[in-house]
Amino acid sequence: MMGKKVLFCVVLFVMASCVQAGLMPLVNPSFENTSGTDEVSIIDWWDSKSYTTTKAEDGTAVPLTPYGENWGQLGNGRWMYQQIGTYEENMVLDISFLLGQPTDKIVAGLEVELFAGGDASLADNVGTKRDNAAFPLDSVVGAVQIATSGNIDPFTDPDTAPVMRTQEMFVHLSTGTAGAGYAVGDPLWLLFSRPSVAGKALIDNVQVPEPATMILLGVGALGFLRRKRK
Ligand SMILES: [Ca+2]
Ligand SMILES: [Ca+2]
């Protein structure tokens, strides 16, 4: 009986390890790393350089954040991405972040996307907009968009009077099944971008928890049910 229990635990551990192989820890997810050489852009993320920056909270024009002292800020058509792991099929990612609106511009929309595939060594900071044909994640890196949140904006202020505020955001995206241009084991990318309209989005505390926890719970419940039946 004891041996069976240990074996069951080992099986759970191995299964959890397998699932976790798909994701890697985010780098600078709270934008607190502001040192380095690319001051006009966002450290540790690949980004669109101009109108893409780390922004310090001040409580007057830029809302305070509970996650350190800094935000990542995207302007008109701007973007940032990083590799978050390797592609696996049907991973449901519960992506969360804090969205902020400054006093000088409305958010007017933000898109959260997953890309898969491409050559990670070709990733770079490039000063072009998301809707430009030269947007590099697909045209240079060679990755393929596999999921998108669509354009999201929880704030509905009129253009003339943006109000400083924050909102916790939750986006659920699935990696689906492998398709043309990418395969299991290829790079998996997380991209934030704004549409090509006037506005600013402040982003902080980006989190992509391991989906393994849910699967582990599921397997555990299965084991519990099986045991009850005996
Ligand atoms: Ca922060
Ligand atoms: Ca950068």
Are 191 and 88 found together in one domain?
A: yes
Are 220 and 156 found together in one domain?
A: no
CA atoms of 88 and 83, how far apart (whole Å): 13
On whether the CB atoms of residues 95 and 170 are closer than 8 A, the answer is yes
Are 102 and 216 found together in one domain?
A: no
Are 55 and 135 found together in one domain?
A: yes
Are 229 and 156 found together in one domain?
A: no
Are 13 and 32 found together in one domain?
A: no
Are 34 and 124 found together in one domain?
A: yes
User: What is the 31 CA–ligand 2 centroid distance (Å)?
Assistant: 11
Neighbours of 66 (CB within 10 A): 9
pLDDT tens for each residue of 106-155: 999 999 999 999 999 999 999 999 999 999 999 999 999 999 999 999 99
Are 118 and 217 found together in one domain?
A: no
Which ligand is nearest to the Cα of residue 206, counting in written order? 1
pLDDT tens for each residue of 168-193: 999 999 999 999 999 999 999 999 99
Would you list the DSSP string of 75-93?
Answer: -TT-EEEEEEEE--TT-EE
Which ligand is nearest to the Cα of residue 38, counting in written order? 2
Q: What's the CA angle centered on 108, arms 79 and 145, to 5 degrees?
A: 40
DSSP structure class, residue 152: B
User: How many separate domains does the chain show?
Assistant: 2
User: In residues, how long is the chain?
Assistant: 230
Neighbours of 2 (CB within 10 A): 6
Closest CA to 52 of 70, 73, 77: 73
Tokens in use for 185? 């084991």
Which ligand is nearest to the Cα of residue 125, counting in written order? 2
Are 96 and 176 found together in one domain?
A: yes
User: What is the 14 CA–ligand 1 centroid distance (Å)?
Assistant: 34
pLDDT tier, 162 (very low <50, low <70, confident <90, very high otherwise): confident
Are 154 and 226 found together in one domain?
A: no
Are 112 and 216 found together in one domain?
A: no
Which residues on adjacent β-strands are paired with residue 144?
Answer: 116
User: What is the 115 CA–ligand 2 centroid distance (Å)?
Assistant: 18
Confidence (pLDDT) at 213? 46
pLDDT tens for each residue of 195-211: 999 999 999 999 999 88
Torsion 90-44-127-160 (CA) sign: positive
Are 82 and 181 found together in one domain?
A: yes
User: What is the 146 CA–ligand 2 centroid distance (Å)?
Assistant: 23
Neighbours of 132 (CB within 10 A): 14
Confidence (pLDDT) at 17? 47
Which ligand is nearest to the Cα of residue 82, counting in written order? 2
Domain hosting 10: range is 1-23+210-230
pLDDT tens for each residue of 30-89: 999 987 654 568 999 999 999 999 999 999 999 999 999 999 999 999 999 999 999 999
Q: Residue 171 is which amino acid?
A: V
Which ligand is nearest to the Cα of residue 100, counting in written order? 1
CA atoms of 110 and 191, how far apart (whole Å): 10
On whether the CB atoms of residues 105 and 181 are closer than 8 A, the answer is no
Sorted by sequence, the CB contacts under 8 Å of residue 225 that are 6+ apart come out as none
Three-state secondary structure call for residue 113: strand
CA atoms of 201 and 193, how far apart (whole Å): 9
CATH number for 111: 2.60.120.260
User: What is the 203 CA–ligand 1 centroid distance (Å)?
Assistant: 8
What's the whole-model pTM score?
Answer: 0.84
Say whether pLDDT at 227 is over 50.
yes
User: What is the 195 CA–ligand 2 centroid distance (Å)?
Assistant: 19
Closest CA to 124 of 114, 143, 137: 137
